Structure 1
Amino acid sequence: MLSKLFLLFENIALFSVIFLQLKPTIADSNNIIIRCIDEEREALLTFKQSLVDEHGVLSSWGREDDKRDCCKWRGVHCSNTTGHVKVLNLRTSDYDFARRKFLKGTISPALLKLYDLRHLDLSNNDFGGSPVPEFIGSLSKLRYLSLSCGGPLELPRKFRNHSRLEYLNLENSCLFSVGSLEWLSRLSSLRHLDPSYINLAKSSDWFQVVAKLHSLKSLVLCSCALPPVNPSFIWHFNLSTSIETLDLSDNNLPSSSVYPWLFNLSRNILYLNLGSNSLRGSIPEAFQHMVSLKSLHLCDSELEGGIPKFFGNMCSLQKLGLSQNKLSGQFSQIIQNLSCGCVVNSLEGLYLGWNNFTGPIPHLGGFSSLEALSLEVNRLNGTIGTSLSQLSKLEFLSLDGNSFTGVISETFFSNMSNLQMLFLADNSLALKLSHNWVPLFQLKWLSLASCKMGPHFPKWLQTQNQLVHLDISNVGITDIIPDWFWDLSSKLSYLNLSNNHIKGRLPDLSLRFDGTRIGGTSIDINSNHFEGSIPPLPSNSPFLNLSKNKFSGSMGFLNNIRTLNLHNNRLTGELPSSLRNCSQLRVLDLGKNAFFGEIPTWIGESLQNLIVLSLKSNKLHANIPYQLCHLGLIQVLDLSFNIISGKIPKCFNNFSAMTYERCSNPTIGFGKCIFVSPGTVYYYKYLNNLLLTWKGSENEYKSTLGLVRCLDLSSNKLDGAIPEEIMDLVGLIALNLSRNNLTGPITPKIGELTSLDFLDLSRNLFSGSIPSSLSQLSGLGVLDLSYNNLSGKIPLGTQLQSFNASVYAGNLELCGLPLANKCPNEESTPSPGTDDYSDALEDEDD
């Protein structure tokens, strides 16, 4: 009986977190300490020799007298009765993995001598892309295997017959040669399976295989590119009804591949994630039969209509995620439907952001368990004071991007002592908080952009010493930054003080921010009145926007920088050579300063990841170096308003990103995930912005910057002809070569730039006729050919005749519509819209 209890205890402990905390040795009944077996200790040391341990992860492993008991080594756990090694857990934490503090090398077959090994976890390490060794399949007692994030892997054939395995995690392991998954069906004891982020597009039998795993309780197939399931044969399989956790998110599966078999599993499902698929139509009534459901995520799909009333009767439901759909309706009606049932007592997280809900927020005091409320980017309005102030358990509140109005006082927060994340940006709210207010909460994330809270710097922030993200941009502050504020900065990963009227100088920021923080600290202080030299900056910052201030001097080393914006300051000298080491730069904007000298060749040689480069409005001279042609990813190149001379390089056709006619991503930016609670992630994206001169005025591009393909060389001293190679850039949206000394005819190949919306060739020395191919650019919205030496008849076509005559002014030998002067041998000049004009167009086509 006692041996059975021991066996039961070991089986339970094997699959629990508690098991990993058990002490490795205990005394037996004769007070004899059970130590590890010599052969297994030597096997572990041989295994260690096959690894590269740059960070001392296995420093406790050794042969010295005080280290001989391998059961006390890090990650090793032994049987309390036999001394055999039962667990080897060398998983690298996500924190250390991000810092690249992990094991490398190969997996030694010495592990075969661990005869009683039940649990092997080598996750978040790097074994050089080598296949999983064949011997893994010979560890016959193995029950738990985790190789997630281990780099490219290939499973051994023997492993495929390992029928005792109960837990298999291959998440993020880029398996080679993944085709049929039939081998998985032989792992009949599997209770947990997670091959997430492995491409299973060629595994057309995935559904049939899953249907044969009758012991499964947890199935995670996130981002696997799963092929759709044919609904016609779903009913031929007896599906496991034991599944409690199912994650099919981010597979672009249609409703017909999900709903028919999913609802057969309904009564036992606890956690269900179908987000980021192609679910369409209204939310099916069949979800109401999932009586045990605790968490449901249907985010990022095409769902329409309202939220069904049956959710109000789902008494176990704790988290409901419906964000990023096309759901609509009065929000007050939705809350009324939910309030009428038992879900009002259980619901902890309500995620409805990025939909089309309308109206004010009704009183939510009945939702006493609510910890997270996400309503951002809807069409909600009204005031928010009394409706939310009674939610005492609230930790996460996001109301960004609605039309809320009114004043928020400290009374609103009087019951929110648990609040950690607060997003109120982009509404018409005013914060009226007393000077000496001390909040009950400690925030980690705070976004109040475009709320009214100036003119003084908010003193209550001094109490918030846990802040990781702070955005108080465009809030009307005209103050200087108090010294105490910089004491908060060491934990910040994002700081946005932009679009205020903050004055003064900055301290040494390299000393204020944590230079070892994963991902660095992103800083945006553009459009203020900071002055003096640019201080030393955090070397690990990925994003710095210091534009539209009064800075002078230069900067230090920024090895991790991806976006650097110093537009519109008082910077002078040659372009700082320290930037040549910033190989990860994507966006570099140094426009509207006083930089002089030549454009350095190292920009093209060292910064080949650049997407945006703006050097406009400086004092740069000499030729454009041909090395710029190495910028194959460049989408925006702006060298306008300098003193650059010489010819346009012919190799500009190497700008391959400008040869794509379409772009799927409208933004250029980077994102961060906020882990609200286990299983709940909130994604926050920071967008790059750029000032571009477009259609006669300077505008800021942010949410659509990724769609722009722009080449602007205007207002320089360039000469020679336009290289025909530029006509290969068929993705160009804007081409501005105006105010130079360019000569020769306009090449007929200009008609190949079919994406052009903006074309300015004015104030050059172009000669000859306007090519008829120009009339074929049907999308052309802005055209300027004025003040050149063009001659002949303007080609007939509704496009060219639709522009104002000023587009052609200063070309004395041009004739024809829309100019008033007639071409030779023309008896009259028909007006647009007349029959004669239509006939003229037909003649031109002939």
Structure 2
Amino acid sequence: MTIFTTQISLLLLILLSITTFHKTVCSNHTLVRCNEKDRETLLTFKEGINDSFGMISSWSIEKDCCSWEGVYCDNITSRVTEIDLKGHTFHESVKLLKGEMNLYILELEFLSYLDLSFNEFDVIRIPSIQHNFTHSSNLLFLDLSFNYSPTLHMDNLQWLSSLSSLKYLNLGGVFGVDLHKVTNWFEVVTSLPSLLELQLSRCNLNNFPSVEFLNLSSIVSLDLSSNNFTFHLPDGFFNLTKDITYLDLAMNNIYGEIPSSLLNLPNLRQLDLSSNMLSGFIPLTLGNLSSLNLLSIGSNNFSGEISKLTFSKLSSLDSLDLSNSNFVFQFDLDWVPPFQLSYLSLSNTNQGPNFPSWIYTQKSLFDLRLWSSGILLVDRNKFTNLIERIRGVLFLSNNSISEDISNLTLSCSLLHLDHNNFTGGLPNISPMTNHVDVSFNSFSGSIPHSWKNLSELKELNLWSNRLSGEVLAHLSASNQLQFLNLGENEFSGTIPIKMSQNLYLVILRANKFEGTIPQQLFNLSYLFHLDLAHNKLSGSFPHCIYNLTNMVTFHFYSYYVNTIELFTKGQEYVYDVKPDRRTIDLSSNSLSGELPLELFHLVQVQTLNLSHNNFVGTIPKDIGCMKNMESLDLSSNKFYGEIPQTMSILTFLGYLNLSYNNFDGKIPIGTQLQSFNASSYIGNPKLCGAPLNNCTAEEESKNATQSTRNEDSESIRESLYLGMGVGFAVGFWGICGSLFLIRKWRHAYFQFINRVGDKLYVTLIVKLNRKDVAKSITQFCDPNKGDLQELNQTEDYVDSQLSCDNDEREPPLSFFY
């Protein structure tokens, strides 16, 4: 009985649990079901969107809108409360919205959070002022920033006035909302009674209100950076609010001195006044801002001294930027700051000749920027301990540091030691390193073994050192590599077939690389700068289907900008890498053979240098397709024939060198080709015409005749090939089509083929052994006949036997497939 009771109790418990679970599931399903009015509002918003990346592909009428991507509903009221459609472009994952941003979405009466930032909307539809919203807004958070379309404009902000509950507003962004036509922006945003955080950076604002009209008493975070404000910083500016914690006015045109009212902000934690035109001295009372954790006042016109008194009470300071300043830094050698920084920038300031000793005390540095600071001497032990601790960014470029750091293992993600005097071998670096620039130093030896594991490496610049060995074999794991500059070293070996498909710049100039140029190098679709000059490369120019998309069609990519040496127009330039500059330089090698036509279809190339090789052949007329060409050097090769007339249409050509070849005939007449002096054409004995000596009458006649003959020959050849192709196609399909469709013809054709084949076979055997074969055939075909006496009789007999073939014989149907 007890067992039975227990079983019944257990069964009831299970049933109760199932019932409860079912009710819970049903209840939850009911609770999150989308409100119909909200659904209609969301679908109206969707109508104008170009969702090419499938970001809101789940927004369909078949699904509950509370389950749509980026849509969140209240569990009790079932009303939409949050929409998060922030775009992103992380690695291979891209999610962006384009098209129309319809602010009718603000009709969602329970909406408290809306994020449409980092997309590519190109139109904003703003509800009319007369329309207004039909409810009292509950919106607390609104972020429309960083929409990257240059056509995105907003003519008014009046629609904001009804968002009385708004606490956070962000309309900033590069190529984002352009508010330069909005004259009342300040009146509108200050009318929002609950607003605490205002982000209007990069909005092209240029009309900053007078201080007497400022009313920011509720604001705790204000970002007006990167606009076009030009105004004097008034003394009462920092009296606007006592509660502000974040103030960013960087990258404007603000002038004047820092007013004393700055000291009236006891809660200020982050202050950025960098990249303006502020002047005067830094008040010592700045050190009274004890809550400050970020101070950025670099790139201004400040003067005077900076000493430990300036930072005496800034114990919370975490980030300090004094770069691009004329301060006189007066720090005692034994000074230990009251703070521990994670970020420090003293770039382009006068710190040298000794490395600032107080920086050695910073144990938490993640990002250190000290380029162009006049540093010559370091405390070796303290210096090595310091740079080995840094995990983020280490910029020591453009100093004169002479140290051997070959025994160190550096763990920073961005390493820039270029333009110094570092000696010895290269240091070991972390597998997580992204960018390495150690160019213009005196590093020697081979690439460390640890560099084989650099799977995250995107930029490598080793230009102008004394490095040697087979470097490219060490980079096989660097599949993310985009920028590769190994120029002016002593590297050797061959160019590997397998290289990163993300490369957009390859410089192997002035080394000892040998072997052929792999075809795979011309299948890098992002590549726009290729420099293999001054090596020992041999073989012919790769003949393959080029996939150099960036040299055929202009594409804009956001590349990491760096400075390289560019050799063009007969001289050396230094310029920042930009995706609108296309270069191919294979000069001073031992390359040979004719140039492929595919080369001249790279119409975006601006610099082409193939000089000092052994190339042969004529220059095809297709060179006229390269209409963006600015610098062309084919000198010191073995090219021959006439200079094609199409070269005269290269209107951007600023440098030309065709000297020391075997060109003949007259230089084509055209403003472009006659603008160069004789040095561009010398070393071609049979070449004439301006700017060289005039052609004789005989040469003129010969050139005209030869030109006409070449054109006629080419025309005849093209017509011949075309006729042959058409004739072959017609004949082939005429015969094959008839055989396939007409059964009787098909039988006759294969009977004929069989007879001819058998006859040829037997005749061959007969020729090899006349008597034996004759006798064998006779006995086999007609046993009653004796030996044949004459070969002709044998052949006649064979013919008669072949005519006995079965007329119905036909090849299998599979023959036609």
The two structures have a TM-score, normalised by structure 2, of: 0.71
Whether the 8 Å contact between 1:745 and 1:769 is mirrored in structure 2 is: yes
Find the partner of 1:641 among 534, 542, 550: 534
Find the partner of 1:139 among 28, 31, 41: 28
Distance 1:804 1:246, change over 3 A: same
For residue 794 of structure 1, report the CA deviation from its aligned partner.
3.5
For residue 613 of structure 1, report the CA deviation from its aligned partner.
1.4
Worse-matched range after superposition: 741-750 or 408-417 = 408-417
**Structure number, greater radius of gyration:** 2
1:500 aligns with 2:372: no
1:542 aligns with 2:434: yes
Find the partner of 1:768 among 631, 636, 641: 641
Whether the 8 Å contact between 2:570 and 2:655 is mirrored in structure 1 is: no
Q: Residues 185-224 of structure 1: matches in 2 within 5 Å?
A: 189-197=79-87, 201=97, 207-211=103-107, 213-224=108-119
Find the partner of 2:203 among 301, 307, 322: 301
- The 2-side partners of 1:247 and 1:428 are apart by 38
1:821 aligns with 2:683: no
* Equivalent residue number for residue 352 of structure 1: 249
1:602 aligns with 2:475: no
1:691 aligns with 2:691: no
Name the aligned partner's letter for residue 301 of structure 1: C
* Equivalent residue number for residue 519 of structure 2: 626
Distance 1:725 1:235, change over 3 A: same
- The 2-side partners of 1:390 and 1:805 are apart by 72
Q: Residues 695-706 of structure 1: matches in 2 within 5 Å?
A: 695-702=569-576, 704-706=577-579
- The 2-side partners of 1:563 and 1:261 are apart by 46
Find the partner of 1:522 among 414, 420, 424: 414
Find the partner of 2:598 among 725, 741, 760: 725
Name the aligned partner's letter for residue 112 of structure 2: K
User: Matched residue of 1:532: which SS?
Assistant: coil
Find the partner of 2:214 among 312, 330, 334: 312
- The 2-side partners of 1:791 and 1:378 are apart by 62
Whether the 8 Å contact between 1:317 and 1:343 is mirrored in structure 2 is: no
For residue 446 of structure 1, report the CA deviation from its aligned partner.
0.8
For residue 388 of structure 1, report the CA deviation from its aligned partner.
5.0
Whether the 8 Å contact between 1:501 and 1:528 is mirrored in structure 2 is: yes
Distance 1:385 1:565, change over 3 A: farther
For residue 583 of structure 1, report the CA deviation from its aligned partner.
1.1
Find the partner of 2:338 among 416, 423, 440: 440
- The 1-side partners of 2:424 and 2:274 are apart by 39
For residue 112 of structure 1, report the CA deviation from its aligned partner.
10
Distance 1:547 1:204, change over 3 A: closer
Distance 1:257 1:221, change over 3 A: farther
- The 2-side partners of 1:381 and 1:789 are apart by 65
Distance 1:662 1:163, change over 3 A: closer
1:582 aligns with 2:456: no
- The 1-side partners of 2:140 and 2:673 are apart by 65
Q: Deviation per CA, 1:207-253: give whole Å up to 9, x if none.
A: 33430x22223222223445734446564342542222211222358
Distance 1:207 1:286, change over 3 A: closer
User: Matched residue of 1:602: which SS?
Assistant: coil
For residue 776 of structure 1, report the CA deviation from its aligned partner.
2.4
User: Matched residue of 1:751: which SS?
Assistant: helix
- The 1-side partners of 2:343 and 2:19 are apart by 45
Larger helix share, 1 or 2: 2
- The 2-side partners of 1:228 and 1:366 are apart by 43
- The 2-side partners of 1:426 and 1:785 are apart by 47
Uncovered stretches (5+) of structure 2, i.e. residues with no partner: 1-9, 40-52, 89-94, 699-817
Q: Deviation per CA, 1:775-797: give whole Å up to 9, x if none.
A: 32333333333333334443344
Whether the 8 Å contact between 2:406 and 2:426 is mirrored in structure 1 is: no
Whether the 8 Å contact between 2:525 and 2:549 is mirrored in structure 1 is: yes
RMSD: 3.7
Distance 1:334 1:505, change over 3 A: same
1:245 aligns with 2:117: no
Q: Deviation per CA, 1:321-354: give whole Å up to 9, x if none.
A: 12233x1313xx2444634xx5242333222333
Q: Deviation per CA, 1:754-781: give whole Å up to 9, x if none.
A: 2223222222222333333333233333
- The 1-side partners of 2:509 and 2:372 are apart by 26
Name the aligned partner's letter for residue 435 of structure 1: L
Q: Deviation per CA, 1:570-609: give whole Å up to 9, x if none.
A: 2222235231111111112211111122222233xxx222
Find the partner of 1:789 among 655, 658, 662: 662
- The 2-side partners of 1:652 and 1:630 are apart by 8
Q: Residues 153-232 of structure 1: matches in 2 within 5 Å?
A: 174-178=55-59, 183=65, 189-197=79-87, 201=97, 207-211=103-107, 213-226=108-121, 228-231=123-126
- The 2-side partners of 1:179 and 1:779 are apart by 53
For residue 206 of structure 1, report the CA deviation from its aligned partner.
5.1
Q: Residues 361-760 of structure 1: matches in 2 within 5 Å?
A: 361-363=258-260, 365-368=262-265, 369-380=267-278, 384=282, 391-405=289-303, 407-480=305-378, 482-488=380-386, 489-506=388-405, 508-510=407-409, 513=411, 521-551=413-443, 552-555=445-448, 556=450, 557=452, 558-603=454-499, 607-651=500-544, 653-663=546-556, 665=558, 668-669=559-560, 687-702=561-576, 704-760=577-633
User: Matched residue of 2:372: which SS?
Assistant: coil
User: Matched residue of 2:375: which SS?
Assistant: coil
The two structures have a TM-score, normalised by structure 1, of: 0.69
User: Matched residue of 2:646: which SS?
Assistant: helix
- The 1-side partners of 2:683 and 2:305 are apart by 58
- The 2-side partners of 1:663 and 1:460 are apart by 44
Q: Deviation per CA, 1:800-835: give whole Å up to 9, x if none.
A: 333444333434444444x26334459xxxxxxxxx
* Equivalent residue number for residue 272 of structure 1: 169
* Equivalent residue number for residue 802 of structure 1: 675
- The 2-side partners of 1:644 and 1:478 are apart by 40
Name the aligned partner's letter for residue 176 of structure 1: S
- The 2-side partners of 1:659 and 1:301 are apart by 35
Distance 1:636 1:405, change over 3 A: farther
Distance 1:631 1:294, change over 3 A: same
- The 2-side partners of 1:113 and 1:582 are apart by 53
Distance 1:139 1:370, change over 3 A: same
Q: Deviation per CA, 1:136-168: give whole Å up to 9, x if none.
A: x9734868xxxxxxxxxxxxxx6677999xxxx
Q: Residues 316-335 of structure 1: matches in 2 within 5 Å?
A: 316-325=218-227, 327-330=228-231, 333-335=232-234
Name the aligned partner's letter for residue 691 of structure 1: E
- The 1-side partners of 2:161 and 2:680 are apart by 64
- The 2-side partners of 1:433 and 1:721 are apart by 67
Q: Deviation per CA, 1:630-649: give whole Å up to 9, x if none.
A: 32222211111101111111
- The 2-side partners of 1:208 and 1:314 are apart by 29
Name the aligned partner's letter for residue 536 of structure 2: I
Uncovered stretches (5+) of structure 1, i.e. residues with no partner: 1-37, 43-81, 85-109, 117-134, 144-157, 165-171, 514-519, 670-686, 827-846
Whether the 8 Å contact between 1:364 and 1:387 is mirrored in structure 2 is: no
Q: Deviation per CA, 1:680-707: give whole Å up to 9, x if none.
A: xxxxxxx4333322344444433x4333
Name the aligned partner's letter for residue 501 of structure 2: Q
- The 1-side partners of 2:677 and 2:268 are apart by 61
Q: Deviation per CA, 1:112-139: give whole Å up to 9, x if none.
A: 94976xxxxxxxxxxxxxxxxxx8x973
Q: Residues 26-65 of structure 1: matches in 2 within 5 Å?
A: none
